Structure 1
Amino acid sequence: MDVDGKLTDTTVLVVDDRAANRYAMGTVLRRAGHQVVPVATGGEALVELDVRLRKGILPDVALVDVDLPDMSGFELCRRLKSRPHMAGLPVVHFSAAAVAPGDRCHGLDAGGEAYLTVPAEPEEIQAVVRAAVRAARLRADDQAVLRRLTLLSETIVAIQAARSPKELADAAADGTARLTGGPATVFVLSPDDELFCGTSRDRTSLALPDDGAHRSVAALLRRLTRGQAGVHLTTVPAPLWPTGFFRPGVQHDARLALVLTQDGKAPVCLATPTRGMRRVDPEAEALVVRLAQATALAAEPLLMYRVERHVALTLQHSFLPQPHRLRNLPGLDVEVRYVPASSQTEIGGDFYVALRTGDGVLTAVGDVVGHSLEAATVMVEIRHALRAYGVDESDPSVLAGRLDRMLQRYHPDVTATVCLALIDPATGRTRIANAGHIPPLVIRDTQTADYAEADGPLLGLGLPHPPPTELVLEPTDRLLMVTDGLIETRGTDLAASMEHLRAAAAGALSGLDALCDTLLACFGDDREDDIALLALQRTN
């Protein structure tokens, strides 16, 4: 503290091998209100500082005699400044001997803040100590501000990189905790009252408050932000704030920084524990306010993304046949799976088809290149075209050719892959036409699996399609058709991924459900593309 221009509550380390000098210097400093820690050598000084560092009570300044018996005062200064946790300790060199200007420069070059010639007037000694301590505290304050601004910048980068409201809340909570030095919880309340809660890393995920506590917070956020604009700071006393959000089972008052998203619909809350209505660190709180504003800005597109993604997926699912309709195919059991890309908002072009024809059951799995409404629209056209062509034609190769011409005529800039299989359930005769797609996989009951040798050009290129590949499915065989979203991984060779798929399918338990579930468990997490699977087996 500064009292009438003088620093008090400061501790001064005095390093001098002469007891009389330590006593005289200590007397002057104590009269000025300083605490004094006297030591005789550089080695003793280092030991004393190590002990104090472990206790977190380093002195505020060190007065170091240049002529110490075990090392020079300049060497002691260099050693102190080389230690990260002691580098900020200001050092004032002093000497009773006449010194040349070069010696003063030596001390400054070693990292010292000042050089004092003794004997000196008490006022001069006190003034030098005050100046050194003030300068060190200003540097420490500047470094603290810089650290906090760096933490704020790092947190804003993290929240802007969040892929979901939950990730956003976790990143903001962790940043708030680092800014304030304590636990933090962040809440994002969507327009449809879904609450996303994030906790700082030092808070265990176990014993979090229950759903009732979350509902209470959601209602509180709605009430506190009603009619508000900008950032709203408030303290909620413990009886009104649910227990356990900051520490398991512990009740706290909560200091809240509340802000609405830019559209004014979704409250964002950064919450930290506090005691009563005491004044919080204004600099830390100002940074928390900035973080709250940045969190609200980042939350809006993520919440909008969830809405758009829900609409897109609902629309895409409406384009695909429902699984129960595929179970009414005579002589075949059919299972399908569709999993949208984990990071894709737009509608994809993956599809599956299974329908009766005059010569058996026609199945197809395909993918229109791209993720867009156009890709989904073309996907629907291909499905309907295939159903229309299948009324009079069953040959998979002929159907592939017709689909190719349809794309060239109506969508000349679009390409697609598709694999078609015509199965006679009575005999197992299967004819396969493949247009640039992953070939079907035949899984035998001997725990072996092989890809059908069927290939051909993509749809939309105008190239001729080869005759269909023929094989016979035994009643115990399973036929698997997938889109490349299941196995394709950036940076991994597709042939290697296909081999992994073959091995996983061969080792799957019997049954179509088990096959599909096994493959999704092996390959289906966090995929960058949509996944469509169709598995079938003869029933006679």
Structure 2
Amino acid sequence: MHPVCSTGEPEGRQMNVNGTRTDTTVLVVDRTAAGRFALGVVLRRAGHQVVAVGSGHEALVELDVRRRKGTLPDVALVDVELPDMSGFELCRRLKARPHMAGLPVVHFSAGEVAPGDRGEGLEAGGEAHLAMPAEPEEIDAVVRAAVRAARLRADDQAVARRLSLLSEAIVGIQAARSPQELAEAAAEGTARLTGSPAAVFVLGPDDVLHRGTSRNRTSLALPDQGAHQAVVALLRRLAHGQAGVRITSVPAPLWPAGFFRPGVPHDARLVLIPTQDGTSAVCLATPTRGVRRVDPETESLLARLAQATALAAEPLLMYQVERHVALTLQHSFLPRPHRLPELPGVDVAVRYVPASRETEIGGDFYAALRTGEGVLVAVGDVVGHSLDAATVMVEIRHALRAYCVDESDPAVLAERLDRMLRLYHPGVTATVCLVLIDPGTGRTRIANAGHIPPLIVRDTGGAEYAKAAGPLLGPGLPHPPPTELFLEPGDRLLLVTDGLIETRGTDLAVSMEHLRAAAIGAMPGLDALCDTLLTSFGHEREDDIAMLALRLTN
């Protein structure tokens, strides 16, 4: 490499001959020492820093070194006739390297520029072609124009990348199934837009806080409950009376430490927006201490991301409130296992397992009632998943309790439930299996309205489903007479809703056979039977599970 004159200033910021600071570095690739010297003088006088080499190979080595240091030049001024390769070939090699493809190249040659040379230079990726000798003003103008064009292209590419990141983040936000998933997706999108750790808070009604942190946060302990309560109070105060996006900074003493990096205090830059109904708020938080200030363009993108998050948050939060109401309603009307009525001659065990938090509430239920002719047990499911389904479930349970005061026949009860559903809830359907047992004799009568039939687990070691079938409740179809069988002491009768075994893509008959095999292998006892089946089938189900098992005590 040929040395060039230096002014003694640190690399990247030198003084030109007029004493002004330079901000542009030019790589001069010239085969002659005289040419390198002359161009260096002209460019330095124009305010540029100069790095000069004498061949294409030297240029590639110099650029590799500078790339590793992060000090690539702003433009390359390349002689067409180099000793080891043409200037056009050097340009092609530069453009083929991902980290150097954006470096603008200006070719130059002695004398007039042939049309073929100009065309080949442009084909290789060059910005322009200078004919030497040229006036200093022309050289400076061409170099500055090449740098300006390259920077505009880089700015456009940066904007396109950021918009692409914003679009990806919004897609992730819209796919969220819960406020927690929403906060996590928004935190990851915020981190990618800013290049720093991020925390996102979705503040719901009653000050319920959902928090998400980006994956580039150090994976150690998160702040304690006190820090979360401090964030709730701060967000409520900042969001009070606010409309639209608010961007503000909060100093470290007021912003709890640890959300961005464990145990480390940071000033926080907050992008805050309330939901449209004003009951909730979304906050995107990034650190500012030790992190370069987010520029206005990035903050504009974060404002859009916050708006998208708030729009997605409102229905998710509303649904969560509805689900809480439905669960409360459903649980309040399902009898607690320890509060089941005393049923002479029969032992009963029940289980109720709600589906995952992200799944809608269902209409599953169970019942165990005393009647004039014995013990009536039932398990059913209102078709659908919503607060309406849970409400209809409650009505069916109350209607069943009222009807069995003076009627015990399960087929008659099924007919009455069907009429009630058609009269008060047209279009709603439900399944139910009703079983009437005489504890003294073991006589068992079953009316099955579209439900999984009871499974009889014999004390002798076998198990079979009762041959009981009929139409579901709602369409108004006639119900057949009850199926009759006898239970022996020690036999266990099992009723379940399809949420226990139903799996997408698997035939229900196959799942029922798996259930039968698992029941045969269960340990003796009602609790052992229920717990074995929940362990085998009850993980991450998409629907609620209701289960009732009984046996005679005689």
Superposition TM-score, scaled by structure 2 size: 0.85
Checking the alignment, whether the CA contact within 8 Å between 2:348 and 2:548 is kept in structure 1 is: no
> 1:48–1:279: structure 2 CA closer, same or farther, 3 Å change rule?
closer
Q: 1:494 aligns with which of 498, 508, 521?
A: 508
Cα RMSD over matched residues? 3.3
Q: What aligned pairs does 1:362-381 form with structure 2 within 5 A after superposition?
A: 362-371=376-385, 375-381=389-395
Q: What aligned pairs does 1:51-450 form with structure 2 within 5 A after superposition?
A: 51-96=65-110, 98-275=112-289, 280-326=294-340, 328-330=342-344, 331-340=346-355, 342-343=357-358, 345=360, 348-371=362-385, 375-407=389-421, 413-443=427-457, 449-450=463-464
> 1:268–1:478: structure 2 CA closer, same or farther, 3 Å change rule?
same
> 1:41–1:452: structure 2 CA closer, same or farther, 3 Å change rule?
farther
> 1:273–1:372: structure 2 CA closer, same or farther, 3 Å change rule?
closer
> 1:226–1:400: structure 2 CA closer, same or farther, 3 Å change rule?
closer
Q: What aligned pairs does 1:465-480 form with structure 2 within 5 A after superposition?
A: 465-480=479-494
Once residues 411 and 216 of structure 1 are traced to their aligned partners in structure 2, the CA distance between those partners, rounded to angstroms, is: 47
Q: CA deviation at 1:499?
A: 3.7
> 1:239–1:105: structure 2 CA closer, same or farther, 3 Å change rule?
same
Checking the alignment, whether the CA contact within 8 Å between 1:16 and 1:65 is kept in structure 2 is: yes
Checking the alignment, whether the CA contact within 8 Å between 1:442 and 1:477 is kept in structure 2 is: yes
Question: 1:184-234: CA deviations, max 9, x gaps?
Answer: 112222231222222111114431111111112222223333444433333
Q: Which amino acid aligns with 1:336?
A: R
Q: CA deviation at 1:309?
A: 1.9
Once residues 7 and 498 of structure 1 are traced to their aligned partners in structure 2, the CA distance between those partners, rounded to angstroms, is: 82
Question: 1:24-48: CA deviations, max 9, x gaps?
Answer: 3334333333333334443443344
> 1:398–1:136: structure 2 CA closer, same or farther, 3 Å change rule?
same
Superposition TM-score, scaled by structure 1 size: 0.87
Once residues 284 and 158 of structure 1 are traced to their aligned partners in structure 2, the CA distance between those partners, rounded to angstroms, is: 19
Shifted more, 169-178 versus 509-518: the winner is 509-518
Once residues 449 and 44 of structure 1 are traced to their aligned partners in structure 2, the CA distance between those partners, rounded to angstroms, is: 84
> 1:443–1:22: structure 2 CA closer, same or farther, 3 Å change rule?
farther
Once residues 194 and 434 of structure 2 are traced to their aligned partners in structure 1, the CA distance between those partners, rounded to angstroms, is: 61
Who is 2:22 aligned against? 8
Shifted more, 224-233 versus 431-440: the winner is 224-233
Q: Which amino acid aligns with 1:317?
A: H
Please state if 1:481 is matched with 2:508.
no
Checking the alignment, whether the CA contact within 8 Å between 2:432 and 2:448 is kept in structure 1 is: yes
Checking the alignment, whether the CA contact within 8 Å between 2:326 and 2:387 is kept in structure 1 is: no
Once residues 294 and 350 of structure 2 are traced to their aligned partners in structure 1, the CA distance between those partners, rounded to angstroms, is: 60
> 1:382–1:240: structure 2 CA closer, same or farther, 3 Å change rule?
closer
Question: 1:99-151: CA deviations, max 9, x gaps?
Answer: 42132122212222112222322222222111111111111112212222222
Question: 1:53-103: CA deviations, max 9, x gaps?
Answer: 333332222222333444433333233323333222212222226442132
Once residues 96 and 370 of structure 2 are traced to their aligned partners in structure 1, the CA distance between those partners, rounded to angstroms, is: 81
Task: State the aligned residue count.
Answer: 538
Matched residue SS, 1:239: coil
> 1:42–1:504: structure 2 CA closer, same or farther, 3 Å change rule?
farther
Once residues 54 and 99 of structure 1 are traced to their aligned partners in structure 2, the CA distance between those partners, rounded to angstroms, is: 35
Q: What aligned pairs does 1:7-26 form with structure 2 within 5 A after superposition?
A: 8-26=22-40
> 1:383–1:193: structure 2 CA closer, same or farther, 3 Å change rule?
closer
Once residues 327 and 70 of structure 1 are traced to their aligned partners in structure 2, the CA distance between those partners, rounded to angstroms, is: 98
> 1:427–1:12: structure 2 CA closer, same or farther, 3 Å change rule?
farther
Matched residue SS, 2:340: helix
Shifted more, 473-482 versus 238-247: the winner is 473-482
Checking the alignment, whether the CA contact within 8 Å between 2:499 and 2:542 is kept in structure 1 is: yes
Shifted more, 179-188 versus 150-159: the winner is 150-159
Shifted more, 485-494 versus 161-170: the winner is 485-494
Who is 2:465 aligned against? 451
Matched residue SS, 2:343: coil
